[in-house]
Amino acid sequence: MSQNATDWVGQKLEESSDLEIDGRTPEDFLIVRQSMDGYTFLVAVLSLKDVIRRSDVMALFAGTNKPQLIVNVPSNTLWSGDAIHYIHGESAAFGSLGDVSRAASTGDAGSYRDKNMGFFINAMQQHTNVIDVSYVYDSVFEADRMTGPSLTVAVIEAYNMSAEDVRNARARLGHFDVVVKSTSYGSITSQAEAAAKSMGAEALKFGDLMGRLSKKK
């Protein structure tokens, strides 16, 4: 854990109008209080690059005080599926600096989940051909199907998905079978479709993903 990152997050939260910092625990977790109703919870701060692993988060729950939310600086670091499952198993949540206020607004920070990723997870879990959905990374999921092999689905932010978006996703996230736009607005360019095809994958919108989950291949 980085002291500088904890200091920085604490300073940023103190600048917000809806949150206050009431000190720190012996574990150096921030004691965050929502100004409106006084709801208080603990925030642990990590400062890791590349990928956050299970081993990185386990130690945060070893002390007397346990965090309800873990944030990482910088925000673009990947959270591994193992780390996410461990955090959720401890009735906690993960995210970035911007998620602290959103988690506070729930009145139960440990139950906070990213709304957009939650939409994709719920939709895939409710699909009639899907048995289970698990995290590979925070925006990459493994969908186990009744008929057909499992599919690795990467969700990326792209208004008009380009070939560069697809290539960047592969470089950052590794293997996927399907890359999906996180928004229904915009389009997928023919170059993006060709780039995905060259990798043995498909570039799809949400509705097309639902259809893809039904196929046997």
26, 75, 117 from 71: Cα distances, Å:
18, 8, 17
State the pLDDT at residue 216.
82
Answer for the pair 66, 38: CB distance below 8 angstroms, yes or no: no
State the pLDDT at residue 161.
98
State the pLDDT at residue 17.
82
**Which pairing describes strands 30-34 and 40-46: parallel, antiparallel, or unpaired?**
antiparallel
Give CA–CA dist 156/154, Å, rounded.
Answer: 6
Q: Which tens digit of pLDDT belongs to each residue from 15-57?
A: 988 999 999 999 999 999 999 899 999 999 999 999 999 999 9
3, 27, 88, 111, 114 from 92: Cα distances, Å:
21, 16, 5, 6, 13
**Site of tokens 């290539």:** 167
**Which pairing describes strands 51-52 and 40-46: parallel, antiparallel, or unpaired?**
unpaired
Identify the band that residue 3 occupies on the pLDDT scale cut at 50, 70 and 90: low
Residue 1 has pLDDT above 50, yes or no: no
Residue 2 has pLDDT above 60, yes or no: no
Q: Which tens digit of pLDDT belongs to each residue from 75-91?
A: 999 999 999 999 999 99
**Which pairing describes strands 187-188 and 160-161: parallel, antiparallel, or unpaired?**
parallel
Phi first, then psi, for residue 57 (nearest 5°) are: -100, -20
pTM exceeding 0.75? yes
Give CA–CA dist 162/175, Å, rounded.
Answer: 18
- Alpha-helical (H) ranges within the chain are 3-14, 54-58, 81-89, 97-105, 115-125, 163-173, 190-198, 206-214
Q: Which tens digit of pLDDT belongs to each residue from 121-158?
A: 999 999 999 999 999 999 999 999 999 999 999 999 99
Residue 187 has pLDDT above 80, yes or no: yes
Region 184-212 average pLDDT: 97
| Residue 4 DSSP symbol | H
